[in-house]
Amino acid sequence: MAKKKLMRYEEIHNFPNVIYTEIVDAENRIVSRNWDEHAFEKAQDTVVEIGCGRGEYCIDLARRNPHKNYVGVDLKADRLYIGALKAKEEGLTNVMFVRIRVEYLIPFLGDQKLSEAWITFPDPYNRTVNGRKRLTAGTFLDVYRHIVEPGALLHLKTDDPTLYEFSLESLKENGAEILFHTNDLYSVTEELGDATAVQTTYEKRYIKEGRLIKYIRFCLN
């Protein structure tokens, strides 16, 4: 492990805006389920970003929407370190990060229900045969059903056409209601709020390279 990555791995355990969980067995038991101990400064709707990476998207959302709380979820501690440090330096009290596998969010959250979910530029896993690792595969949609409130909005943004088409089919097959979708987000003239107002560094790069950004808004019944 590189020296810088090791340093981040050690430091992140002490960050006040990070919950670092570890799974201990196949029954999804977690070493320390401490979600309730890390309450936000204000009790308000909580939005999750699945696979948040460095947290750019949820940090920008937190800046734009102080009336909501945001939690970024990812497995890579060194990526979370960057987002958590940025949020801490800016004094953002309505965003925090959780190091956890998406599959274990149900036991981690318990009865807590989230008001909205964003899946922003996830790995398309185009080398896998059946797409089961994609974050819009049926097994992951079942997780989202358990952790979001009934009727909550979920959003997918991607530059990958294969993931976009796969997601549309997966959503239909798994009983989701597709509220809006486009294979060219920035050609749409209607107001789409945070879907277009917030862009990560990678998204800006993709747009500059001429890649079309795809977007799906849906809910799970």
Give the whole-angstrom CA distance, residue 115 versus residue 70: 10
The pLDDT assigned to 33 comes to 57
**Could you give the CA distance from residue 201 to residue 198 in angstroms, rounded to a whole number?**
10
Q: Is 74 annotated as a binding residue?
A: yes
Q: Taking the domains of the chain in order of start, what are their residue ranges?
A: 3-20+46-220
Residue 90 phi/psi, 5-degree rounding, is -85, -10
Give the pLDDT band of residue 217 (cuts 50, 70, 90): very high
- Percent of the chain surpassing pLDDT 70: 88
Instruction: Give the strand pairing for 114-120 and 46-50.
Output: parallel
| Residue 203 is assigned to a ligand binding site | yes
User: Per the annotation, does 41 bind a ligand?
Assistant: no
Find the helix packing angle between 138-147 and 161-173, rounded to 10°. Answer: 70
Question: Residue 13: is its pLDDT beyond 90?
Answer: no
- 177 annotated to bind ligand: no
Just list the catalytic residues.
Answer: 123
Q: Angle CA(91)–CA(119)–CA(92) in degrees, nearest 5?
A: 5
pTM summary value? 0.91
CATH topology of domain 3-20+46-220: Rossmann fold (3.40.50)
Q: How high is the pLDDT of residue 148?
A: 97
The per-residue pLDDT for range 126-170, each reduced to its tens digit, is 887 778 999 999 999 999 999 999 999 999 999 999 999 999 999
| C-beta separation of 183 from 162 below 8 A | no
Q: According to the annotation, is 194 in a ligand binding site?
A: no
202 is in an annotated binding site: yes
* Residue 178 Cα distances to 129, 151, 153, 161, 185, angstroms: 25, 12, 10, 17, 15
Q: Round the average pLDDT of the chain to a whole number and report it.
A: 90
